[in-house]
Amino acid sequence: MSVIPQDLEDILSKRSFAHIATIGPSGEPQSSPVWIDWDGQYLKFSQTTTRQKYRNLQREPRLAVSALDPEQPYRYLEVRGRVARVEDDPDRAFINRMAKKYMDADEYPYDQPGDHRVIVYVQPEHTTRM
C-alpha cells in the first residue's frame, strides 16, 4: 500500500516540477528541480551519472521530493523516501516520455554527447501535505 494520499496523487502525474533534496558529500543539502513520473508505486525521475545529485544518491539513498500542483500552488506534496533502484535509459525512452509530458517534444533536446542517462526509482516512505 502506498503512503501517497489518494487525494494528492494527481500532483505526481501532472506537469508538476519537483524539487529533489539530497545530502551532499560534506553533509550539506542539495536541491534542484526535476521532471517526475509516478507509476502508483515509485516516483521516478531521469538523471545523468555525472550530476552531483546522482553522486549524492549513490552515497546516501535517502531523499526528499517536494511538488506543487501547477494549477493550485498552495496545494503540495512532500515525499520522503529512498532510492529503490537505478536503471539505465539507453534508448532514452523515459527521458523522451518526460520531454513529451513537459515540453510536448518527441525527443529530449538537451542531451549531450556521452551522457549516460538513468532512471531513478524512489520508494516513498513518508509524506507531508498542504
pLDDT of residue 2: 81
pLDDT digits (tens, 9 = 90+) for 91-122: 999 999 999 999 999 999 998 888 999 999 99
Q: What is the mean pLDDT of the chain?
A: 95
Its pTM stands at 0.95
CATH topology for 4-127 is: Pnp Oxidase; Chain A (2.30.110)
pLDDT digits (tens, 9 = 90+) for 2-33: 899 999 999 999 999 999 999 999 999 999 99
Q: pLDDT band at residue 42, thresholds of 50, 70 and 90?
A: very high
Sheet holding 117-129, edge to edge: 29-35, 17-23, 62-68, 76-88, 117-129, 43-48, 37-38
